[in-house]
Structure 1
Amino acid sequence: MILRTRGLGFIMAALVVLALLVGACRWIDLDVSSPIDNLINIGAAPVASIPFCGNVTSPRRLTCPGTPTAPPPSQTTPPPTSGPAPPCPDYFRYIHDDLRPWRGAGITRASVERARRHANFRLVVVGGRAYVEKYRRAHQTRDVFTQWGIPAAAPPLPRPRSRPGHHVRLRRPPRVHAADFPAPAEAPPVFLYCNDAGWPEKNIRPWSQMLEEMRRESERVQWPERQPYAYWKGKLHVYRIRHELRRCNVSNDQEWNARLFTQDWKHAIRNGFKGSSIPKQCLYRYKIYIEGNAWSVSEKYILACDSPVLFVVTPFKDNLSRGLVAVDWGNKHPVQAQLIDYMLHLLTEYAKLLRYKPTVPKKVVEICSESIVCPTRGLHRECMMDSMESHFTGFSPRTLPPPFTKEEPKEIADREAEVLRNIENIERLAS
């Protein structure tokens, strides 16, 4: 279900519909947390033994080897395949759509340089080697784990001439607005951060592990046995729309059949993350997704619970929301449905649009698996190693589907508009 964002009324009306569906329900205690200023050091655990790190225990950055080191062998590594590669899911077509502003004039050096003020770091890939120039600090370790995804998860780009050079922003919301640029190609291309290696500061393990834990929890408690409420837990901070949603919580005066909890991460860290288990949140029949400062990284965990999700409509798009149909496909094809394909095709198509030859800037540092993982300790290192991709030996990317036709975007927009109209009709009937 999709909820409009025109204020509290629509949110409450949609929850009334849910109340009619689930009926009268019993009271449960709300989560109470207190601010704690002292945080524990999650990096103090002993260093795990990594074959290619040797005896390195100091935080210094290593020199990358002449030939990139392959990940440790895995028993799950699939055998090499023959014949044409299977096609990617249909939502990969949005790669063409996202790069459309630069399709005609291409991406110039000047437009890339204009992206500097919006970015946390710059990534350049030349000759199959990756280099990073850091501009400003990132929140926690977003920069480290975003960079980790390049050498650890991605094999060399399929075309030797592909030499992408781009900027990465590690904060939300996006800062590049199309309306500020009369010519679309003048807009600076900026990538937002993305990783599936987990979030050590929040005790969130790599995505593959979390998905398996959530699958087991969903199977343990079948949908009819789950709590008959719409559930949301997250950080309120200064996000107005989340504060409005919070007013829909159960109280002595109202029952909207919503169970909304505030997540205090300082308290969770101090308390050893008790009560903050993401798989344990799969115990409710319905989940709520609502943006924070922009799109929220909680989306994929909410979707993975195998419960109907109430979406508060947002202008932000990402490959998860675009590929909701592909989630079922990914569950049926766990080895093939990999983020690596999306990254490879996006970077390859981006590189095709470059109208200049990227060179290695003066203030860069070369990054590789060794230089990133070996200086780390504790949970940071565990998350990196657990997320290391080991399937790309003899494994070719799948085929990127063609762009949308001129008619297809309008058809998609019309279908979405029809869904929203139906939801608004339900809201009016329930109010």
Structure 2
Amino acid sequence: MKGGVNVKKRNLTGRTPTFSSPVLICLVPLALFSLIIVSLIILHIKVEGIVSRTKTVAGHNLDPTPWHPFPPLNLKQSIIDDDDDESRPWWGLFPQVATSPILHCSYLLTCPTIIPSPSFNSSSSSSSPPSCLPLFQWIHQDLYPWSLSRISFSTLMQARKHAAFRVVISSGRLYVDFYYACVQSRSMFTIWGLLQLLRRYPGMIPDVDLMFDCMDKPIIRSDDFSPSTTWPPPPLFRYCTTKDHLDIPFPDWSFWGWPEVNIAPWDEEFRSIKLGSQELNWKKKSRTAYWKGNPDVQSPIRTKLLSCNNSKTWGAQIMRQDWAKEARAGFKQSKLANQCNYRYKIYAEGYAWSVSIKYIIACGSLSLIIHPQYKDFLSRGLMPRKNYWPISPTNLCPSIKFAVDWGNEHPLEAEAIGKGGQDFMQNLNMERVYEYMYHLIVEYSKLQDFKPTPPSSAQEMCEDSILCFADQKQRHFLKRSSASPSSSLPCTLPAPDHHLIERWIQEEEKIIGDQEKLETT
């Protein structure tokens, strides 16, 4: 201090000193790194929470249906391997995102906003489309319980406890609310089929809200409902029904392919089967009845069928199909087109109805159908002695033997019935399947007295989101079954004719009854 004045001490350079400590230099990046780590941990926890709550078309976070338990799906959170994509998206740089197909496919993928227009001009058509196949008459019969009462929102929600998922179509877009897992890839291929329907008839599918169960056995018993007690019944879509149930039959998932057993989409599989059926003419085909399938599905009739495995005594060859073993061998022994070298092919129900019925009839052999309890949408159009030969379930082996002996004694008639079945299946190509789906949904939508609105828990589904969740083999099958917009209007659905349905049922019962009498005399 000089003269009472405080003079700052300066360094030799005349500059104010700075504190550039090495410790401080290290602390700043360390703090930033810690902040990033904490943020990533928080992000990880939040992402894990989202992933663990999101239900998907592949079955993530879904329990098997309680009314038909099956082993839970083995789903791994692995990096999405799309062999059609040469480059990874930017979120692949973040491991938690890249390893979660749930996050990728449910939240980072957006569905197209543009809905394509029809490829035809309905107003310029000079004539009405041709009439639908006769079996379409069953659409009116299936929906008859709601024709007077209509379907309220509360009636729809009564079906929720029996459904695996809920489908809402709104303004041409499809939303799904998942409740339970479906066995194998049934839900994936069923929803894909609905998306192909929207693609087939763009802008023509009405807003609709429906409940769907993807398991085998129908559950809405007609005896549990009547106008004087409980009415209307809950509307529930599924793959089959019976005369004692009110479940609404819908084309099953395998029309778009069944990758687990290597069965191609329907049009492709039918062409292959028909070609295989032509390798041998009728005279050269084996003179025995043939069945190959899985008897271990809680099916009394298939268990009973095993006792008929004697070509000399019963004229039948019964083969056990081990699908797990077949998958390991590359499905070399299960190709359906190679099973048409028999004059007679047997259809036996499994746990309920079986998708195998359409492949058996497609062979053009004389189909020996063991009188079924369950029927899908197409089998109700079949007529005994015209499209197939009825087999008695109570007199099984002798009934098979009778059919084989009759066919070998009347080869021309047997071949004609077999061809009648094959022709029926050829007429039921995917164009007809989409027409059936279209009219069923249109007629169903007319019965709803509320505006279909997707719930907040529903996810929008589109082709990209389905393909995103699919594994490599599933994607291969899905893409092979992709539809193109129709160049014409769907067929014309005839007016309801319940008397016609009654005549069909009576005719079928009479033919089967006469057949059983003939076998026992």
- TM bracket (short chain): 0.7 to 0.9
Cα drift, residue 391 of structure 1: 4.3
* Unmatched segments (≥5 aa) in structure 1: 1-38, 74-79
Normalising by structure 2, report the TM-score: 0.66
**Over residues 156-198 of structure 1, what are the superposed CA-to-partner deviations in whole Å (9 max), with x where a residue is unaligned?**
8688793211111111111111111223742111111423111
Cα drift, residue 294 of structure 1: 1.2
CA distance in structure 2 between the aligned counterparts of 1:157 and 1:55, rounded to whole angstroms = 35
Given candidates 240, 257, 262, the residue that maps to 1:198 is: 257
Q: Tell me if the contact between 1:88 and 1:399 (Cα under 8 Å) persists in the aligned partners.
A: yes
* Aligned 1:311-350 pairs, distance under 5 A: 311-324=369-382, 328=423, 331=426, 337-350=431-444
Residue identity matched to 1:49: D
- SS of aligned partner of 1:228: strand
Cα drift, residue 327 of structure 1: 6.0
**Over residues 270-293 of structure 1, what are the superposed CA-to-partner deviations in whole Å (9 max), with x where a residue is unaligned?**
222121111111111101111111
Given candidates 100, 113, 116, the residue that maps to 1:66 is: 113
- State the number of aligned residues: 376
Higher-Rg structure is 2
Cα drift, residue 89 of structure 1: 0.7
Residues 235/56 of structure 1: CA separation in 2 closer, same or farther (3 Å cut): farther
Given candidates 179, 184, 188, the residue that maps to 1:140 is: 184
Cα drift, residue 426 of structure 1: 2.3
CA distance in structure 1 between the aligned counterparts of 2:435 and 2:220, rounded to whole angstroms = 26
CA distance in structure 1 between the aligned counterparts of 2:270 and 2:193, rounded to whole angstroms = 18
Given candidates 269, 289, 307, the residue that maps to 1:247 is: 307
Residue identity matched to 1:231: Y
Given candidates 339, 349, 352, the residue that maps to 2:446 is: 352
CA distance in structure 1 between the aligned counterparts of 2:428 and 2:351, rounded to whole angstroms = 33
CA distance in structure 1 between the aligned counterparts of 2:360 and 2:344, rounded to whole angstroms = 10
Residues 386/81 of structure 1: CA separation in 2 closer, same or farther (3 Å cut): farther
CA distance in structure 2 between the aligned counterparts of 1:119 and 1:156, rounded to whole angstroms = 26
Residues 374/153 of structure 1: CA separation in 2 closer, same or farther (3 Å cut): farther
| Structure with more helix by fraction | 2
Cα drift, residue 396 of structure 1: 1.4
CA distance in structure 2 between the aligned counterparts of 1:396 and 1:373, rounded to whole angstroms = 28
Aligned position for 1:22: none
Aligned position for 2:167: 123
Residues 56/286 of structure 1: CA separation in 2 closer, same or farther (3 Å cut): farther
Cα drift, residue 46 of structure 1: 7.0
CA distance in structure 2 between the aligned counterparts of 1:47 and 1:281, rounded to whole angstroms = 34
Residues 160/380 of structure 1: CA separation in 2 closer, same or farther (3 Å cut): closer
Residues 55/386 of structure 1: CA separation in 2 closer, same or farther (3 Å cut): farther
Cα drift, residue 69 of structure 1: 6.5
Aligned position for 1:85: 129
**Over residues 143-168 of structure 1, what are the superposed CA-to-partner deviations in whole Å (9 max), with x where a residue is unaligned?**
11111011123348688793211111
Q: Tell me if the contact between 1:152 and 1:368 (Cα under 8 Å) persists in the aligned partners.
A: no
**Over residues 195-227 of structure 1, what are the superposed CA-to-partner deviations in whole Å (9 max), with x where a residue is unaligned?**
311110111111111111111111112222111
- SS of aligned partner of 2:466: helix
CA distance in structure 2 between the aligned counterparts of 1:55 and 1:284, rounded to whole angstroms = 56
Aligned position for 1:188: 234
CA distance in structure 1 between the aligned counterparts of 2:164 and 2:456, rounded to whole angstroms = 17
Given candidates 472, 489, 507, the residue that maps to 1:396 is: 489
Residues 309/227 of structure 1: CA separation in 2 closer, same or farther (3 Å cut): same
- SS of aligned partner of 1:154: helix
CA distance in structure 2 between the aligned counterparts of 1:180 and 1:391, rounded to whole angstroms = 42
1:216 aligns with 2:216: no
CA distance in structure 1 between the aligned counterparts of 2:136 and 2:435, rounded to whole angstroms = 9
CA distance in structure 2 between the aligned counterparts of 1:100 and 1:286, rounded to whole angstroms = 37
- SS of aligned partner of 1:113: helix
Aligned position for 1:24: none
Aligned position for 2:473: 379
Q: Tell me if the contact between 2:362 and 2:425 (Cα under 8 Å) persists in the aligned partners.
A: no
Which segment drifts farther, 126-135 or 150-159? 150-159
Q: Percent identity?
A: 35
Aligned position for 2:337: 279
**Over residues 354-376 of structure 1, what are the superposed CA-to-partner deviations in whole Å (9 max), with x where a residue is unaligned?**
01112110100001111112443
Q: Tell me if the contact between 1:232 and 1:287 (Cα under 8 Å) persists in the aligned partners.
A: yes
* Unmatched segments (≥5 aa) in structure 2: 1-73, 93-97, 240-251, 388-420
Cα drift, residue 55 of structure 1: 11
**Over residues 229-286 of structure 1, what are the superposed CA-to-partner deviations in whole Å (9 max), with x where a residue is unaligned?**
11111111121111111111118xx621101111111111122212111111111110
CA distance in structure 1 between the aligned counterparts of 2:435 and 2:166, rounded to whole angstroms = 22
Given candidates 207, 231, 235, the residue that maps to 2:266 is: 207
Q: Which has the higher contact order (CA 8 A, sep 6+)?
A: 1
**Over residues 75-118 of structure 1, what are the superposed CA-to-partner deviations in whole Å (9 max), with x where a residue is unaligned?**
xxxxx975321111111011000000001100111121111111
CA distance in structure 2 between the aligned counterparts of 1:45 and 1:248, rounded to whole angstroms = 48
Residue identity matched to 1:239: S
CA distance in structure 2 between the aligned counterparts of 1:135 and 1:106, rounded to whole angstroms = 25
Cα drift, residue 415 of structure 1: 0.9
RMSD of aligned alpha carbons: 3.1
